[in-house]
Amino acid sequence: MSKEAVFTMKLEPELRDQLMSEAALEDRPASQIVRELMRDYISQRKHAREYDEFLRHKVERARVSMRAGKGMPQEQLEAEAAVRRAELLRRADEADS
């Protein structure tokens, strides 16, 4: 990849010195490390945006489902979950015996 762009930034002298020291210990140019950090940051943000979009679609599908009458009231959902929990606990107790 061509490296023709220049990126200038201000930072604390201590941070710069620490980066340069760590880079020297690894026998790597600081610019290479900064590029890796930038790529990692871009990748993380891309994944976060994709996940947010996934959740938005999932919530919208759930809302459409609820508006269409396919949902379940919270009380009913909690009651059914309580029955399932009780059954699982009963089975776990039997397995321990």
Residue 7 inside a domain? The answer is no
Residue 2 inside a domain? The answer is no
Q: Do residues 33 and 23 make contact, with C-beta atoms less than 8 angstroms apart?
A: yes
How long a stretch of residues is the chain? 97
- In tens, the pLDDT along 5-59 reads 898 999 999 999 999 999 999 999 999 999 999 999 999 999 999 999 999 999 9
Question: Structure pTM?
Answer: 0.65
Residue 69 is part of which domain span? Answer: 13-96
pLDDT at 2 over 90: no
Query: What pLDDT score was predicted for residue 66?
Result: 86
Q: How many domains does the chain have?
A: 1
- In tens, the pLDDT along 56-77 reads 999 999 999 989 988 888 899 9
SS (H, E, C) 1-67: CCCCCCCCCCCCHHHHHHHHHHHHHCCCCHHHHHHHHHHHHHHHHHHHHHHHHHHHHHHHHHHHHHH
